[in-house]
Amino acid sequence: MSSHNTDSNIRPAPDRELTEIADYLERPIESREAYDTARLCLLDSLGCALLALNYPDCVRHLGPLVPGTIVPDGVHVPGTAHVLDPVKAAFDIGTLVRWLDFNDTWLAAEWGHPSDNLGAILACAEYVSHARLRRGEKALRLRDVLTAMIRAHEIQGVMALENAFNRVGLDHVVLVKLASTAVATAMLGGNRQQVIDALSQVWVDGQALRTYRHAPNTGSRKSWAAGDATSRAVRLALMTLQGEMGYPSALSAKGWGFYDVSFKGNRFKFQRPYGSYVMEQVLFKISFPAEFHAQTAVECAVRLHPVIANRLDDIERIALTTHESAIRIISKTGPLHNYADRDHCLQYMVAVGLLHGALKADHYKDETARDPRIDALRAKMEVVEDPRYSREYHDPAKRAIANAIQIFFRDGSASERLEVEYPIGHRRRRAEGIPLLIAKFRANATTRFAPERVTGLIERFNDIKSFDEMPVREFMDLFLP
C-alpha cells in the first residue's frame, strides 16, 4: 500500500476519470449505427427477460421486498404485474435481462454484459416520466432510453478495454454499477457535479468478488449480481440528488483510495475516448445461451453433431483449441454442481452441442446434466490455447472470439478441424445475425405472449420514427402481462 500523508486535509480536484465521464454525458451522440444497434439491443434484452420468467429460481427474486407494498406511480417490471420503486425495479429488470446469460456481451481485458444497465435505465426512465407528467411536462421518449443505453454501453465497455478487474479478483459488475450510476444520475436530473459525486460513491463502495463465477464456488449469484449492481446505482444516484456529498479523490487518494486499496496501486488505462464505439461493436448472443467465450466453440460442436451422433463410443479424444480468456474463465474439470456451474463450463457446453446438435437454456438443468454421456465426452477433451486466438481477441480491429474443434476416433480417423473465429452475433456478421436476432426475440417472447402480440411488438420496433418518439410509459404498457 502506498504511503500517505495524514496531515494534509486539502481536498483535491475530482479525479480525471470521474470528470471525463461527466463531460461525456453532456455531449450528443451522432452515430446512426449506434442508435440502430441500441434498438436491437433493447428488443433482445427484453426478449431475454421474458424468457427468464419461465424459470422459478429467477421469479422468486422479483417483486417488492415487503409483500403487498404499493408504490404510486411506480415502475413496471416487464412481463409481470409488479409495480415497484425505482431501486427494486432496477434490480428486477436487471436480473431478468441477465438471468439466462443470453443478453449482449463485451469482451476485452475485462468482460461483461452492457445491457445489464437496462435495469437502471428503464427504471429511471419510467420514474422520471411519472414525475414530469405530474408537473405537466413532457415525458421521456424512447429516443432518450436509446441515448442512455449507448452511453452506458460506452462507459462500461471503454473502461473494460484495458482494465482487468478480474486480475485483482473483483467482478465485472463494478462497471455496471459505474455506468448505471452515471446515466441514472443524469436521467434523474443531476448536474455535472452531482454526476461526479455519485460516481465517486461507486468507487468508495466495496466491490463484489468474482468467486461466485469460478470453481469451486460457482453459483446463482452470478445471475442476479448485475441486477444488484444496477439497483445500487439508482440508490447512489437518488442519494446524491438528495444532497449527499461526493469524494473527489475516491480513486487516487494515497493509501485509502481505490487504486491503492483494490487495484494494486495502478491507475486505469484507456485505449480510446468515450463515444459510441461499444454499442456499434457489441456482441449479441443469438444462437446459444452460453458464456460468450464459448459461443464459437458451441457453433463448431453443433456442426460436428452429425459426424459423431452414431460414433460416441468410437471417440478417443476431442481437441478443443481456444483463447487464453476462455481457459482462465470457463475451462473446468470435475463435477458440476448446479445450473450456474454448467453454463460457465466450456467443456459442458461443447459436450451438449455435440450430443444434441443444439444448446438451449433447459440443457443446463439437472435433467440433462444427469446424462452420463456428457461427462464421458468432457473427460476426452483436451483444451489448449492458440496464441493467435488470444492476440486477435484483444485486437481492436478484429475482436475475434475464436475456437476450433477436431474429433479423433479410435480407428485412427478424425473429423475435419472446424474453426469459427467470429460468432454470429459479432459486428462482422451483423447482416447475417439481425434476422436471427429478431427470430430469437419472437421465440423468447412467445413463451409469455400470444404470437400475434409478439408480431405487433416487432412491428413497433421496426417503425423507427414512431418507436423513437413513443413515450416510455406507453412502451412499458406494451409488456404488461
CB 96, CB 76: distance < 8 Å? no
Q: Mean of the pLDDT values across residues 425-431? A: 90
pLDDT value, residue 433: 93
Q: What is the chain's Cα-based Rg?
A: 23
C-alpha to C-alpha distances, 209 to 137, 212, 250, nearest whole angstrom: 43, 7, 19
Mean pLDDT value across residues 61-88: 97
pLDDT the model gives residue 6: 55
pLDDT at position 215 is: 83
> What gap in Å lies between CA 475 and CA 19, rounded to an integer?
33
pLDDT of residue 397: 85
Please report the sign of the dihedral spanned by the C-alpha atoms of residue 321, residue 322, residue 323, residue 327: negative
Q: What are phi and psi of 382, to 5 degrees?
A: -115, 115
Residue with cell 415497484: 84
CA distance 349 to 345: 6
List phi, psi (to 5°) of 317: -155, 160
113-150: pLDDT as tens digits: 999 999 999 999 999 999 999 999 999 999 999 999 99
- pLDDT above 90 (res 268): yes
User: ω into residue 216 within 30 of 0, thus cis?
Assistant: yes
Residue 1 has pLDDT above 50, yes or no: no
Which of 40-44, 292-296, 387-391 is predicted least confidently? 292-296
Residue 329 pLDDT level (bands cut at 50, 70, 90): confident
| Mean pLDDT, residues 33-61 | 97
Binned at pLDDT 50, 70 and 90, residue 97 comes out as very high
Query: What's residue 462's pLDDT?
Result: 95
Backbone angles phi, psi at 365, to 5 degrees: -75, 165
Cα gap 274→240, rounded to integer Å? 24
Query: For residue 466, how many other CB atoms are within 10 A of its CB?
Result: 12
The SS3 of residue 215 is: coil
Q: Please, how many CA atoms are within 13 Å of residue 239, restricted to the half-sphere of its CB?
A: 17
> Helix, strand, or coil here: 380?
coil
* Mean pLDDT rounded to a whole number for the chain: 95
pLDDT of residue 2: 41
Q: What does each C-alpha distance from 429 to 50, 121, 421, 438 come to in angstroms?
A: 25, 28, 11, 15
pLDDT at site 107: 85
For the stretch 184-207, pLDDT in tens is: 999 999 999 999 999 999 999 999
Do 312 and 393 meet the contact criterion of CB atoms below 8 Å apart? Answer: no
In this prediction, residue 399 has a pLDDT band, given cuts at 50, 70 and 90, of confident
Nearest to 444 by CA among 358, 360, 369: 360
Q: How crowded is residue 223: how many other Cβ atoms within 10 Å of its Cβ? A: 23
Give residue 9's pLDDT: 85
Q: Tally the C-alpha atoms within 13 A of residue 90's C-alpha that lie toward its C-beta.
A: 29
144-190 residue pLDDT tens: 999 999 999 999 999 999 999 999 999 999 999 999 999 999 999 99
Helix or strand holding residue 289 (H, E):
none
- Looking at the chain, how many residues does it have? 481
Burial of 153 (C-beta count, 10 Å sphere; 0-12/13-18/19+): buried
Determine the Cα–Cα distance for residues 237 and 188; give it in Å rounded to an integer: 8
